[in-house]
Structures are given as structure tokens and as C-alpha cells.
Amino acid sequence: MHSVRRMLSAALALVVSSVIAGSAADWPQWRGPGGQGISTESALPATWGPDENVAWKTALPGSGRSQPIVWGNRVFLTADVDAGPAPDGHAAPEHLIEGKPFLHPDSTGANRRHALKVLALDLDSGAIVWERTAYEGPVFDNIHRRSSYASPTMITDGALVYAYFGPEGLYAYDFQGTLRWKASVGNFALLGMGTGSSPVLAGGLIVIQRDENAGQDSRLLAFDKQTGEEVWRTPRPVSASWSTPLVVDVDGRTELITNGNEFVIAYDPATGRELWRAKGLESNAIHTPLSGHGLVIVSAGYPAKRVMAIRPGGSGDITGTDRIVWTYARGTGYVISPILYGDHVYLISDSGIVTCLDAKTGDVRYEGGRVPEPGSFMASPVAFDGKLLLTSSDGDSYTIKAGPVHEVVAKSSIDEPVASTPAVAHGRLLLRGEKHLYCIRRTSAAGPDGAGGD
């Protein structure tokens, strides 16, 4: 498993780019091309509603928080369907914090069986092309009642599509729905809150950030993307996290950036070897790192609000060195990842208040940017055509002009709650609501057209 030949093969297969090969119009992973939430699309409608610019609306089984991904004419996402009571005696593991038992009041789910599904839809019509049950049975741990066992976002390289369900496994399907392989990441506990980290591709490898409770068994895992064979595993000195790592190119060297409470750590994704580390954010690591202007930017929003810009490419412990370029301690939300678009970083609070920082210096361009109606926000922002899109849990989307002056230019709504981050691909915006997937595009007639309605 850890043979020199396989390690060399992985290293040779590693591409020095954070962008998966494919059309720029595709959305192949969590937060799209490069994992940054940015699209090059410029032809999306200015507004939409239940009867305005909805190309199709497709009913989805069960629940899910995973973002849709798109490759060509296929949309992929996961779903979690209740499959009845768990066997007698089955229970979630005990969680300890500082040696004392911990049970979150909103922790639930392990008392039920779950069918964890992978779906492929036609982008033009919304029709479900195929549906597969990757796993059915009791689950290892609880999740937060507002979460789902289908929270990690899928990823594709255009040949296979990969679905990750935490302790319930990692699965690879071809585009026709044939299971090519499945792999175990082992059982691990996340304080009964559920898995949030999505898989990333690094050349010929699928990499999983698998942190757990107090960190005794936290690790990174890498699997051969063709076979599912484990290539390397690296222990991590960090406690529970829900962040997705980011692959970046730094002067010809590829680094895998991981966010964490105790440490922010960069690894060589071909081997799992640690390259550098910095003191962490001392807060729950949920946000995905950002990259731009020669920096990586990590953040967290609870219990402390922290943002830190780091110049990658270092070695050893870089805490307190000039590689820590700037820090900021306000404005972040609990779940929502910030976004770096153009010259600015935008932080979003849980109530949708926007803070704009200069990406290079951390200087404040504006604080307190508000949307017209108060609400709660869990979906991360996306950016396109000089605009940001913020979508609230009520299903209201606010289009905000990018730049150093806050300006809300439009409001749009769908008629159900939203907790999943939108995807932008091929002239379309895909919004996953509580019960349906919506395809937003410029339409010639008011109201939905095409198949896939509920």
C-alpha cells in the first residue's frame, strides 16, 4: 500500500494546478473550479422567482446539504433517505470533551437506518438519469438535526464521479452509474455533528481530511482515484474539523492547505508529507481556505471570529514569521465560507452582514454591508460577472455588486428553504432547496419549461 512504486506513480500523476481539467463552464467540485466559488459565467438572469426564469424544478429524495456538481450535461448530487429504525441496541459513540461526556442537544440520527444515494440528472431537462444507493443501514454517529448524512459535496474528473459519506465510505461511479470501487475511511466521531469536509482531487489521488473529536485519530487519507486503493495516510495533530482542504500551486510546488483549530498545515499531496504549519485559528474549522494574490487565507467563525492570510511556500513552523501577512478578527459566520473575488475578500456573518477586506493587506474597505431583509445564512457565497450571490436559509438570494462599496442590486427568491451552496455552470444557476433542485436560467416564457417537475 505504501510502496515506493505507488508513491512515485502518485507523484508523477500530480498536476501542479488547483483546477480540474475540463470546461471552464463546468462546476466539478465543492465551490467549483479551483474550489473558490467563482464562475466565469456572464449570462445568468438578473432575477428569478417561482414563476420567473426557472428552467426546471426536480423533486429530490430525502434530505441533503451537498452542493450540486456539473460536468457537461450531467448534474450530480447526494441524498440521505430515512430507511426506518436502527437495530435494537445500536447507538452513537460516546463523545468526550476534556474527559467529560458530551451530547449536543441537537445531535440526532444514529437511531435510524439511512439510505445514502447518488443521483445523476440531465442538465437540460432536470430528469433523473440514474439513482444509486451507495450505502444502506445503521450509521456510525449522530449528526446535527439541521444537517444531513449527505453533506459532503461530490467531485468528478470527467471520467468517474466520487461520493463521500464520512464513516459510511467513499464511492466511485462512472457516468453511467456503474459502481467502480468503494473504500472505507474507518469509523470516526465528530462530536455528533456529522461530516462536512468534501473530497478533493490532487492528480491521481482523492484526498480526504478526516479529523475527529479530540484529534487522537485525526488524519489525511489519499486513495488512488482509479482503483480506490489507499496510497498514503498521515496523522494530524488537530481536533474535529469540517473544512475542505484546498490544492494550490506555489512556484511550481503543489501544496494541500488544511484549516484547523490547533494548526493550519500544508502537505505535499503526492506523499502526505507535512511542508509547513502555523498556529491555528483556535476556533471550529469549517470554512474552506481561499487562494489569491500569492496568499492563502484561512478563517473561522465560532467561538472566535478569525481570519489569517499566509504566504505559502514555507517550511517548518511559520508561526510569528513574516509569512503571516495579515490577520483580522471580525465579520465571519459560523458555517459560511468567505470568498476572494478580484482584489477583495468578502466575509459573511450568520445574518448576512458583509465585510469587505483588501485581499493583499487585510485593510477594511467596508463593514456592516446589509441585505434588505434580516435572515439567517448557511450557504456560502458564489461570484460571477462582477457580482456576489448570497442565499439565505429562507430561499432569498441577494445579488451584490463586487468591489469596495456595498450595493445590493437585486433580490430573487424560490419558494422553499435553502441550506446548500448554489452551483453555477453552462449559463445556469443550480439551487438546492429543501425538497427540490432548481435550475435558473434565462427562459423565453414565465414559469418552468421542460421535464423534471415535481
Q: What pLDDT score was predicted for residue 10?
A: 41
Indicate the residue type of 416: E
Determine the pLDDT at residue 376.
Answer: 96
How far is residue 441's CA from residue 47's CA, in Å, rounded to a whole number? 10
CB 382 within 8 Å of CB 411: no
* DSSP state at residue 244: P
Check: CB of residue 163 under 8 Å from CB of residue 185. no
- Closest by alpha carbon to 432, among 397, 408, 398? 397
Half-sphere exposure of 285 (CA within 13 A, CB side): 33
pLDDT at residue 71 in the model? 98
SS3 188: coil
Residue 98 is predicted with a pLDDT of 81
The Cβ of residue 320 has, within 10 Å, a number of other Cβ atoms equal to 9
pLDDT of residue 210: 97
Q: Could you give the CA distance from residue 186 to residue 183 in angstroms, rounded to a whole number?
A: 9
How many residues are present in the chain?
A: 454
Separation of alpha carbons 440 and 194, rounded Å? 30
- What's the DSSP call for residue 197? P
- Among residues 211, 265, 267, the alpha carbon closest in space to that of 242 is found at 211
- Per-residue confidence (pLDDT) for residue 4, from 0 to 100: 38
**Interior CA angle at 168 toward 233 and 87, to 5°?**
140
Residue ranges in the chain modelled with pLDDT below 70: 1-22, 444-454
d(CA 261, CA 273): 20
| Region at 308 (left for phi over 0; alpha for psi -120 to 50; beta for the rest) | beta
At 20 the pLDDT is 40
Grid coordinates 503571516 are at which residue? 324
pLDDT at residue number 96: 85
SS3 string, 305-362, reads CEEEEECCCCCEECCCCCCEEEEECCCCCCCCCCEEECCEEEEECCCCCEEEEECCCC
Q: 169: buried, middle or exposed (CB in 10 Å: 19+, 13-18, 0-12)?
A: middle
All three cell numbers of 219, joined, read 488524519
Q: Going from the N-terminus, what domains does the chain have, and what CATH number goes with each?
A: 4-440 (2.130.10.10)
pLDDT at position 54: 97
pLDDT digits (tens, 9 = 90+) for 43-74: 999 999 999 999 999 999 999 999 999 999 99
